[in-house]
Protein backbone atom coordinates (compact mmCIF):
# COMPACT_ATOMS: atom_id res chain seq x y z
CA UNK A 1 0.00 0.00 0.00
CA UNK A 2 1.20 3.50 -0.75
CA UNK A 3 -1.45 4.86 1.61
CA UNK A 4 -2.52 3.18 4.85
CA UNK A 5 -5.60 5.06 5.99
CA UNK A 6 -8.35 3.77 8.25
CA UNK A 7 -11.50 5.60 9.29
CA UNK A 8 -13.03 4.53 12.62
CA UNK A 9 -16.40 5.72 13.91
CA UNK A 10 -17.31 5.63 17.57
CA UNK A 11 -13.61 6.18 18.24
CA UNK A 12 -13.84 8.33 21.36
CA UNK A 13 -13.88 5.44 23.83
CA UNK A 14 -14.00 1.69 24.35
CA UNK A 15 -13.30 -0.68 21.49
CA UNK A 16 -13.08 2.13 18.92
CA UNK A 17 -10.41 4.05 20.81
CA UNK A 18 -8.34 0.94 21.46
CA UNK A 19 -8.68 -0.10 17.81
CA UNK A 20 -7.26 3.29 16.86
CA UNK A 21 -4.28 2.85 19.20
CA UNK A 22 -3.46 -0.60 17.89
CA UNK A 23 -3.85 0.25 14.20
CA UNK A 24 -1.64 3.32 14.60
CA UNK A 25 1.00 1.11 16.22
CA UNK A 26 0.82 -1.06 13.10
CA UNK A 27 1.51 1.91 10.83
CA UNK A 28 -1.93 3.17 9.87
CA UNK A 29 -2.91 6.83 9.56
CA UNK A 30 -6.33 7.45 11.05
CA UNK A 31 -9.52 9.41 10.61
CA UNK A 32 -11.45 9.29 13.87
CA UNK A 33 -15.09 10.28 14.26
CA UNK A 34 -17.43 10.42 17.25
CA UNK A 35 -19.79 12.81 19.01
CA UNK A 36 -17.35 13.60 21.84
CA UNK A 37 -14.64 15.65 20.17
CA UNK A 38 -12.82 16.43 23.42
CA UNK A 39 -12.04 12.74 23.79
CA UNK A 40 -11.07 12.47 20.14
CA UNK A 41 -8.61 15.34 20.51
CA UNK A 42 -7.06 13.72 23.58
CA UNK A 43 -6.79 10.41 21.73
CA UNK A 44 -5.19 12.11 18.73
CA UNK A 45 -2.55 13.71 20.94
CA UNK A 46 -1.82 10.38 22.61
CA UNK A 47 -1.48 8.49 19.31
CA UNK A 48 0.64 11.14 17.59
CA UNK A 49 2.99 11.29 20.57
CA UNK A 50 3.35 7.51 20.72
CA UNK A 51 3.48 6.60 17.03
CA UNK A 52 3.96 9.74 14.93
CA UNK A 53 1.09 8.68 12.68
CA UNK A 54 -1.23 11.21 11.08
CA UNK A 55 -4.59 11.47 12.85
CA UNK A 56 -7.53 13.60 11.70
CA UNK A 57 -10.66 13.95 13.85
CA UNK A 58 -14.23 15.06 13.18
CA UNK A 59 -17.44 15.28 15.18
CA UNK A 60 -20.11 12.92 13.92
CA UNK A 61 -23.56 11.69 14.89
CA UNK A 62 -23.99 8.55 12.78
CA UNK A 63 -27.79 8.86 12.81
CA UNK A 64 -27.41 11.96 10.57
CA UNK A 65 -26.97 10.27 7.18
CA UNK A 66 -26.01 13.51 5.43
CA UNK A 67 -23.33 14.24 8.00
CA UNK A 68 -21.99 10.69 7.68
CA UNK A 69 -21.52 11.07 3.94
CA UNK A 70 -19.94 14.52 4.32
CA UNK A 71 -17.55 13.23 6.98
CA UNK A 72 -16.38 10.22 4.99
CA UNK A 73 -15.91 12.35 1.90
CA UNK A 74 -13.96 14.92 3.94
CA UNK A 75 -11.63 12.23 5.27
CA UNK A 76 -11.07 11.05 1.71
CA UNK A 77 -10.12 14.60 0.77
CA UNK A 78 -7.77 14.79 3.75
CA UNK A 79 -5.90 11.61 2.86
CA UNK A 80 -6.44 11.40 -0.89
CA UNK A 81 -7.69 7.83 -0.56
CA UNK A 82 -9.34 5.60 2.01
CA UNK A 83 -8.12 2.05 2.40
CA UNK A 84 -10.41 0.98 5.23
CA UNK A 85 -13.56 2.15 7.00
CA UNK A 86 -14.46 0.55 10.33
CA UNK A 87 -18.18 0.81 11.09
CA UNK A 88 -17.82 0.67 14.85
CA UNK A 89 -20.17 3.26 16.37
CA UNK A 90 -22.91 1.57 18.32
CA UNK A 91 -25.14 1.56 21.38
CA UNK A 92 -26.02 -1.16 23.85
CA UNK A 93 -29.04 0.40 25.53
CA UNK A 94 -32.18 -1.65 25.86
CA UNK A 95 -35.11 -2.87 27.90
CA UNK A 96 -37.39 -5.91 27.65
CA UNK A 97 -39.93 -5.23 24.93
CA UNK A 98 -43.27 -3.99 26.16
CA UNK A 99 -42.06 -2.83 29.59
CA UNK A 100 -42.48 0.90 29.05
CA UNK A 101 -38.99 1.91 27.88
CA UNK A 102 -39.31 1.95 24.08
CA UNK A 103 -36.97 4.95 23.79
CA UNK A 104 -33.94 2.89 24.85
CA UNK A 105 -34.62 0.23 22.23
CA UNK A 106 -35.43 2.83 19.57
CA UNK A 107 -32.19 4.73 20.17
CA UNK A 108 -30.15 1.55 19.91
CA UNK A 109 -31.93 0.60 16.69
CA UNK A 110 -31.39 4.04 15.18
CA UNK A 111 -27.64 4.02 15.88
CA UNK A 112 -26.90 0.36 15.22
CA UNK A 113 -29.13 -0.10 12.17
CA UNK A 114 -29.69 3.26 10.47
CA UNK A 115 -26.29 4.55 11.55
CA UNK A 116 -24.51 1.44 10.29
CA UNK A 117 -26.43 1.63 7.02
CA UNK A 118 -25.47 5.29 6.52
CA UNK A 119 -21.80 4.53 7.22
CA UNK A 120 -21.83 1.59 4.85
CA UNK A 121 -23.46 3.65 2.08
CA UNK A 122 -20.86 6.39 2.49
CA UNK A 123 -17.91 3.99 2.59
CA UNK A 124 -19.09 1.98 -0.41
CA UNK A 125 -19.60 5.16 -2.43
CA UNK A 126 -15.92 6.00 -1.93
CA UNK A 127 -14.75 2.44 -2.52
CA UNK A 128 -16.73 2.11 -5.75
CA UNK A 129 -15.21 5.35 -7.02
CA UNK A 130 -11.71 4.16 -6.08
CA UNK A 131 -12.38 0.58 -7.23
CA UNK A 132 -10.85 -0.68 -4.01
CA UNK A 133 -11.22 -0.56 -0.22
CA UNK A 134 -11.84 -2.60 2.90
CA UNK A 135 -15.12 -2.27 4.78
CA UNK A 136 -15.12 -3.60 8.35
CA UNK A 137 -18.49 -4.03 10.06
CA UNK A 138 -18.38 -4.52 13.83
CA UNK A 139 -21.23 -6.85 14.72
CA UNK A 140 -21.28 -9.07 17.84
CA UNK A 141 -21.60 -12.69 18.92
CA UNK A 142 -25.05 -11.51 20.01
CA UNK A 143 -25.95 -11.55 16.31
CA UNK A 144 -25.76 -15.34 16.26
CA UNK A 145 -29.10 -15.86 18.02
CA UNK A 146 -32.03 -13.93 19.38
CA UNK A 147 -31.32 -13.03 23.01
CA UNK A 148 -33.71 -12.21 25.86
CA UNK A 149 -34.65 -9.19 27.92
CA UNK A 150 -32.64 -6.00 27.74
CA UNK A 151 -30.45 -7.27 24.88
CA UNK A 152 -33.19 -8.43 22.51
CA UNK A 153 -33.09 -5.28 20.40
CA UNK A 154 -29.29 -5.03 20.55
CA UNK A 155 -28.89 -8.60 19.28
CA UNK A 156 -31.36 -7.96 16.46
CA UNK A 157 -29.48 -4.83 15.36
CA UNK A 158 -26.17 -6.70 15.28
CA UNK A 159 -27.80 -9.44 13.20
CA UNK A 160 -28.75 -6.69 10.73
CA UNK A 161 -25.10 -5.59 10.56
CA UNK A 162 -23.92 -9.15 9.94
CA UNK A 163 -26.49 -9.73 7.19
CA UNK A 164 -25.57 -6.40 5.57
CA UNK A 165 -21.95 -7.55 5.34
CA UNK A 166 -22.88 -10.93 3.89
CA UNK A 167 -25.08 -9.28 1.29
CA UNK A 168 -22.22 -7.07 0.16
CA UNK A 169 -19.82 -9.99 -0.05
CA UNK A 170 -22.42 -11.82 -2.14
CA UNK A 171 -22.72 -8.83 -4.47
CA UNK A 172 -18.94 -8.56 -4.91
CA UNK A 173 -18.43 -12.19 -5.93
CA UNK A 174 -17.20 -12.30 -9.52
CA UNK A 175 -16.44 -8.56 -9.70
CA UNK A 176 -12.74 -8.33 -10.64
CA UNK A 177 -13.25 -4.64 -11.46
CA UNK A 178 -13.92 -3.91 -7.77
CA UNK A 179 -11.19 -4.86 -5.31
CA UNK A 180 -13.48 -4.28 -2.32
CA UNK A 181 -13.22 -6.56 0.69
CA UNK A 182 -15.90 -6.78 3.38
CA UNK A 183 -15.15 -8.13 6.85
CA UNK A 184 -17.70 -8.72 9.59
CA UNK A 185 -16.19 -8.91 13.07
CA UNK A 186 -18.18 -10.62 15.82
CA UNK A 187 -16.56 -9.61 19.12
CA UNK A 188 -17.34 -11.71 22.13
CA UNK A 189 -17.59 -10.23 25.59
CA UNK A 190 -14.84 -7.59 25.60
CA UNK A 191 -14.70 -5.15 28.50
CA UNK A 192 -15.60 -1.60 27.41
CA UNK A 193 -17.58 1.46 28.48
CA UNK A 194 -20.70 -0.10 26.98
CA UNK A 195 -20.65 -3.09 29.30
CA UNK A 196 -18.61 -1.89 32.29
CA UNK A 197 -21.70 -2.27 34.51
CA UNK A 198 -22.15 -5.92 33.55
CA UNK A 199 -20.85 -8.47 36.04
CA UNK A 200 -20.79 -12.25 36.04
CA UNK A 201 -20.79 -12.62 32.25
CA UNK A 202 -18.88 -15.74 31.15
CA UNK A 203 -15.80 -15.45 28.93
CA UNK A 204 -15.30 -11.70 29.44
CA UNK A 205 -11.82 -10.54 28.34
CA UNK A 206 -10.03 -7.24 28.92
CA UNK A 207 -10.09 -4.50 26.30
CA UNK A 208 -6.51 -4.70 25.00
CA UNK A 209 -6.34 -8.45 24.23
CA UNK A 210 -9.92 -8.45 22.99
CA UNK A 211 -9.28 -5.61 20.55
CA UNK A 212 -5.99 -7.21 19.51
CA UNK A 213 -8.02 -10.17 18.26
CA UNK A 214 -10.35 -7.81 16.40
CA UNK A 215 -7.45 -5.96 14.76
CA UNK A 216 -5.74 -9.18 13.71
CA UNK A 217 -8.95 -10.28 11.99
CA UNK A 218 -9.19 -6.89 10.25
CA UNK A 219 -5.59 -7.03 9.08
CA UNK A 220 -6.13 -10.55 7.73
CA UNK A 221 -9.25 -9.22 5.93
CA UNK A 222 -11.26 -12.22 7.09
CA UNK A 223 -14.78 -12.26 5.63
CA UNK A 224 -16.22 -13.15 9.04
CA UNK A 225 -14.53 -13.70 12.38
CA UNK A 226 -15.66 -14.45 15.92
CA UNK A 227 -13.07 -12.98 18.28
CA UNK A 228 -11.23 -13.87 20.37
CA UNK A 229 -11.18 -17.19 18.51
CA UNK A 230 -11.01 -19.00 21.85
CA UNK A 231 -13.60 -19.47 23.14
CA UNK A 232 -15.90 -17.84 20.59
CA UNK A 233 -15.41 -20.11 17.60
CA UNK A 234 -16.60 -23.20 19.49
CA UNK A 235 -18.95 -21.31 21.79
CA UNK A 236 -20.47 -19.54 18.79
CA UNK A 237 -21.09 -22.86 17.09
CA UNK A 238 -22.76 -24.14 20.26
CA UNK A 239 -24.89 -20.98 20.49
CA UNK A 240 -26.16 -21.54 16.95
CA UNK A 241 -27.33 -25.06 17.80
CA UNK A 242 -28.43 -24.77 21.44
CA UNK A 243 -32.11 -24.94 22.41
CA UNK A 244 -33.30 -21.72 24.02
CA UNK A 245 -33.13 -22.82 27.70
CA UNK A 246 -29.50 -23.91 27.24
CA UNK A 247 -28.68 -20.78 25.24
CA UNK A 248 -29.91 -18.61 28.11
CA UNK A 249 -27.65 -20.42 30.57
CA UNK A 250 -24.69 -20.13 28.19
CA UNK A 251 -25.02 -16.38 27.69
CA UNK A 252 -26.25 -15.33 31.10
CA UNK A 253 -28.71 -13.13 29.21
CA UNK A 254 -25.93 -10.71 28.24
CA UNK A 255 -24.07 -9.78 25.05
Q: Are 123 and 44 in contact (CB under 8 A)?
A: no
Q: What is the DSSP letter of 198?
A: -
Choosing from 28, 154, 160, 232, which is the catalytic residue? 154
Assess whether 189 carries a catalytic annotation: no
Q: Are 239 and 141 in contact (CB under 8 A)?
A: yes
d(CA 225, CA 212): 13
Among 206, 225, 205, 202, smallest CA distance to 215 is for 225
* Helix count and strand count (H, E) for the chain: 9, 7
Q: What is the DSSP letter of 150?
A: G
**Active-site residue list:** 154
Amino acid sequence: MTHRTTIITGASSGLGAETARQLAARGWDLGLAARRTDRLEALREEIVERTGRRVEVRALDVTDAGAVRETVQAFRTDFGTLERVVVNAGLGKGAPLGTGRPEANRETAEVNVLGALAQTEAAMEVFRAQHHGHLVLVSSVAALRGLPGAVTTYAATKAFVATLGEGLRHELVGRPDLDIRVSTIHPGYIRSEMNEHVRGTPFMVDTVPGVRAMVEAMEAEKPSARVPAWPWVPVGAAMRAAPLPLLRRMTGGHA
